[in-house]
Amino acid sequence: ELVLKVRIQNPNLRENDFIEIELDRQELTYQELLRVSCRELGVNPEHVQKIRKLPNTMLRKDKDVARLQDFQELELVLAVSDKNSLFRAPAPSERSGYNKKASELTY
């Protein structure tokens, strides 16, 4: 088995820990990596835009996956549309610099 560390790429999360996944060395394909990663992280594979090997390398094909070594860190980069947001945007009152009194002023 090949053990990899995987997480969802999201700079807005305070804690964004990696999880460890295992892949059968006989089935080291991009599709298998995508399938196992999404199952373990609870993500729909259709929402994954790309898989990044940290710090800055995009995985594109089976040969890229075959070169991975134990405990390498990967991120799933999600494609998020306005209609299908996977992460909740902060309410105006949660944004820094928001002034509730100023928002209630009338002229």
CA gap 70, 60 in Å, rounded: 19
Three-class SS of residue 72?
coil
Domain count, the chain: 1
pLDDT in tens, 76-85: 999 865 444 4
Q: Is residue 47 part of a domain?
A: yes
Distance CA 87, CA 76 (A): 14
Are 48 and 13 in contact by the 8 Å Cβ rule? The answer is no
Q: Tell me, yes or no, whether 102 lies in a domain.
A: no
- Tokens read off for 84: 């299908």
pLDDT tens, 8-48? Answer: 998 777 778 899 999 999 999 999 999 999 999 999 999 99
- Whichever domain contains 60, its CATH number is 3.10.20.90
Contact 37, 50 (CB under 8 A): no
What is the amino acid identity at position 71? F
Q: Which domain holds residue 14?
A: 2-78
pLDDT for position 12:
77
Q: What is the mean pLDDT of the chain?
A: 81
Report the pLDDT value the prediction gives residue 104, as an integer from 0 to 100: 52
Is residue 107 predicted with pLDDT exceeding 60?
no
C-alpha closest to that of 77 among 27, 6, 3, 5: 6
